[in-house]
Amino acid sequence: MSTPPLPPATPEIPVGLPQHTLSVVVPMYNEAENVAPLLERIHLALGAYPWPWEAVLVDDGSSDATFEELLRCARLHGPHVRVVRLVRNFRQTAAMQAGIDAARGSVIATLDGDLQNDPIDIPRMAGRLLAEDLDLVAGWRKNRQDGLLLRKIPSRIANRLIARMTGVHLRDYGCSLKVFRASAIKNVRLYGEMHRFIPAWLATVTTPRRIAQEVVTHHARVFGQSKYGISRTFRVLLDLIFVYFFMRFRTRPGHFFGGIGIALGMFGSLILAWLAVVKFYFGEDIGTRPLLFGGFFLIIAGVQMVTSGVLAELLARIYYESGSTRSYLARDAATPADGECWHLPVAGSGMPAGKA
């Protein structure tokens, strides 16, 4: 396969930008047919890029020939194409975190490996990130090439709900094509299914004013099968609850769980107080009333919300953010020195020519 199955396009190469290096991170799972055309498209987009760049491709424990194709294409294109192999399928968020950890660039671009995101947009997005001094430029699939019922409608609902709950107003949270300032994204640890909420997580270490959105190209899938289904909607809702909690109450979690616990406890106390009046003032038997058990249950539930809920969330966050703990396990791979294994600009592009 010598040419990518995508329409021809000319990349918009930015000029006059400050010195930087660019890492393109692509997590892939069972995308063997897309490896070669994707790398050709990346080189079409960045072949004339005026600053050093690298491609970091993460094989997320694929069960097909994805890893073998990655190695073959890496040898074909050169050492600036680096391959990270995870020992099993840890899912997209962990694979993306592995690629970000391995990336050496001061600017990091992420995109899916299914050829629906187009690398042609990366130079323009990186240019805007640096020219406007932003921390994130997120892609917006304005003309999305996906099914209406199973993909577009759930995505629109989720985007509006996420924006309302997190306060980070973007039109498309699900687009994997994003360009980050490395100093910002490397301060955020991703795990679970949190790749959909990266802009919200990033807002915990920077201001939403440094987050922008750019219209990007979106293609219909040509090879392979989608890894997403309607079931992800339920996972998004569960993750959104935790994102909302962390963004609003990470420095005061007791206020969140304590507020619910106090409300439950007060309701239970009112029930028991009423039953006490019935017992001692009216002289009625309350021992077999379901309301008695309900009151005790509400008080116990309130205490549990204040204690076990806070401890569980804090311990989970400490576990994943500890310096020695990661959400994935990769096979040993040597990391090149900072000055090695880059795709360097050609002569006349604004920097001296050199070999990668």
Q: How confident is the model at residue 177 (pLDDT cuts 50, 70, 90)?
A: very high
Task: Choose the final residue of a domain: 197, 213, 248.
Answer: 248
Of residues 314 and 208, more confidently modeled: 208
Is residue 260 domain-shared with residue 198, that is, in the same domain? no
Task: Choose the final residue of a domain: 191, 224, 248.
Answer: 248
Q: Is-contact 135 213, C-beta < 8 A? A: no
Residue 345 lies in a domain: no
**pLDDT digits 0-9 by tens, 217-263:** 888 777 656 555 555 666 677 777 777 777 777 666 767 777 888 89
Q: Indicate the DSSP class of residue 181.
A: E
**pLDDT digits 0-9 by tens, 160-173:** 777 777 777 788 88
Residue 336 lies in a domain: no
Q: What is the mean pLDDT of the chain?
A: 83
Is residue 82 domain-shared with residue 183, that is, in the same domain? yes
Q: Is-contact 344 66, C-beta < 8 A? A: no
What is the total count of domains within the chain?
Answer: 2
Is residue 201 domain-shared with residue 262, that is, in the same domain? no
Residue 8 lies in a domain: no
What is the predicted pLDDT for the residue at 174? Answer: 78
Is residue 53 domain-shared with residue 186, that is, in the same domain? yes
The answer, yes or no, to whether residue 352 has pLDDT greater than 70, is: no
Q: What is the enclosing helix (H) or strand (E) of 24?
A: strand 22-28
Give Cβ neighbours of residue 96 (< 8 Å, ≥ 6 apart).
25, 27, 58, 110, 176, 190, 195
Q: Indicate the DSSP class of residue 137.
A: E
Residue 87 lies in a domain: yes
Is residue 142 domain-shared with residue 285, that is, in the same domain? no
Task: Choose the final residue of a domain: 220, 248, 276.
Answer: 248
Residue 106 sits in a domain whose CATH number is: 3.90.550.10
Is residue 139 domain-shared with residue 227, that is, in the same domain? yes
Residue 145 lies in a domain: yes
Whole-structure pTM value: 0.77
39 SS3 class? helix
Domain range for 201 is 22-248
Is residue 216 domain-shared with residue 196, that is, in the same domain? yes
Mean per-residue pLDDT, 86-103: 93
Tokens encoding 137: 């430029």
Question: What size, in residues, is the chain?
Answer: 356
Residue 109 lies in a domain: yes
Residue 156 lies in a domain: yes
Is residue 188 domain-shared with residue 283, that is, in the same domain? no
Mean per-residue pLDDT, 117-142: 94
Rounded Cα gap, residues 20 and 354, in angstroms: 16
Beta bridge partners of 179: 109, 137
Is residue 80 domain-shared with residue 205, that is, in the same domain? yes
- Judging by beta carbons within 10 Å of its beta carbon (0-12, 13-18, 19+), is residue 346 exposed, middle or buried? middle
Is residue 61 domain-shared with residue 133, that is, in the same domain? yes
Return the top range by mean pLDDT from 56-60, 175-179, 257-261. 56-60
What is the predicted pLDDT for the residue at 212? Answer: 93
Residue 355 lies in a domain: no
Is residue 259 domain-shared with residue 243, that is, in the same domain? no
The answer, yes or no, to whether residue 1 has pLDDT greater than 50, is: no
Rounded Cα gap, residues 200 and 208, in angstroms: 9
Is residue 173 domain-shared with residue 291, that is, in the same domain? no
Give Cβ neighbours of residue 345 (< 8 Å, ≥ 6 apart).
48, 49, 50, 51, 52, 351, 353
